[in-house]
Amino acid sequence: MYTAYYGLRELPFGITPDTEYYFAHASQQEALNTLLVAIRMGEGFLKVTGEVGTGKTLLCRKLLGTLAREPGFATAYVPNPYLDPRTLMRALAEEVGLSVSAAETEHALARRLTLRLADVHASGRRLVLCLDEAQAMPDATLEALRLISNLETEKQKLIQIVLFGQPELDERLACHQVRQLRQRIAFSCQLAPFSARDTRNYLHHRLAVAGYTGPPLFSRPAVGMLYRASGGIPRLVNILAHKALMAAYGEGARLVRYRHLVCARDDTESLRTGTYARLVFRFWGHR
């Protein structure tokens, strides 16, 4: 692989969310700051939406990591909430350290969960539950989540809930049957794609984290092509940058040029026919 050739410790453009590579561009940092302020204020429901590949899971992990370093919070994380209400409650119970038997009734589980959250509160902490891919939650589970959020003392919520989801989450919450949950969302954030400058700075940031110390590795025309082809969507930037580096390495080139990005774009099927093609088309349609 090209890591040794370019003086890198590791591959810089992986698509697995890694907080070591967190890039604090305006949209991400504004969302993170809003979430932290709202959580510290004790707000019950918070929501983050963004298109596919805009960094919701990475932001979620960054938020969880930040809260884990603060003594006033305990955290729980459910990465796939496509669950029925009872299974969601079981998942939450397990996240806060409760063992759950198959024979236990939903009422008994809810009671034990309430007592556990009260213990967390008595220890001077509040529980923050983050649910990724929240647009996939069934209506009954959304309602169960609202009921879970009712757990509170006279002055403070016992649990705060942050929903991360694609724009379809907003469509779900606009439905009449979940209006009570929608009314409880105190703050909402929306993640935006990179600007052209963000894209350039993002490349430099990830290469530096991966150990690169040399001159610019991507030519200016290559960066421009990368931005246009990706629409500023971070996941696509990673995919295209990785393929372009492979193309340049295959030629024995020290600089990633425009033609390498063309090869990377043409080799990415999702840009021709799939979801990302529609996202990029929509992005440039508004320019």
> Contact 279/269 with Cβ under 8 angstroms?
no
**pLDDT of residue 245 exceeding 80:** yes
In terms of Cα–Cα distance, which of 193, 201, 250, 262 is closest to 226?
262
**pLDDT of residue 280 exceeding 50:** no
Q: Where are the domains of the chain?
A: 26-191, 194-285
Q: What is the CA radius of gyration of the chain?
A: 22
What is the reported pTM? 0.90
pLDDT tens readout for residues 59-98: 999 999 999 999 999 999 999 888 898 889 899 999 999 9
**pLDDT of residue 51 exceeding 90:** yes
Amino acid at 231: G
Distance (Å, rounded) from C-alpha 212 to C-alpha 217? 9
**pLDDT of residue 287 exceeding 50:** no
CA angle 105, 108, 114 (to 5 degrees): 140
In terms of Cα–Cα distance, which of 131, 52, 53 is closest to 95?
131
Mean predicted lDDT score pLDDT of the chain? 90
Identify the sign of the CA torsion 20, 21, 24, 30: negative
In terms of Cα–Cα distance, which of 261, 206, 245, 186 is closest to 25?
206
Residue with structure tokens 């440039």? 284
Tokens at residue 4, please?
């040794």
Q: Which residues contact 58 (CB under 8 A, 6 or more apart)?
A: 17, 18, 19, 22, 28
pLDDT tens readout for residues 121-174: 899 998 999 999 999 999 889 988 888 888 766 667 889 999 999 999 999 999
Distance (Å, rounded) from C-alpha 147 to C-alpha 204? 46
Biggest alpha carbon–alpha carbon distance for the chain: 67
Distance (Å, rounded) from C-alpha 136 to C-alpha 152? 26
Amino acid at 48: V
pLDDT of residue 40: 92
Question: At the topology level of CATH, where does 26-191 sit?
Answer: Rossmann fold (3.40.50)
Question: Counting beta carbons within 10 angstroms of the beta carbon of residue 188, is it exposed (0 to 12), middle (13 to 18) or buried (19 or more)?
Answer: middle
Residue with structure tokens 């001159």? 215
The architecture (CATH level 2) of 194-285 comes to: Orthogonal Bundle (1.10)
Distance (Å, rounded) from C-alpha 7 to C-alpha 87? 47
Average pLDDT over residues 25-48: 93
Identify the sign of the CA torsion 126, 40, 76, 141: positive
CA angle 241, 284, 132 (to 5 degrees): 65
> Contact 256/218 with Cβ under 8 angstroms?
yes
pLDDT tens readout for residues 95-110: 999 988 888 888 888 8
E strand or H helix at 131 = strand 126-131
pLDDT of residue 285: 45
> Contact 245/13 with Cβ under 8 angstroms?
yes
pLDDT of residue 82: 87
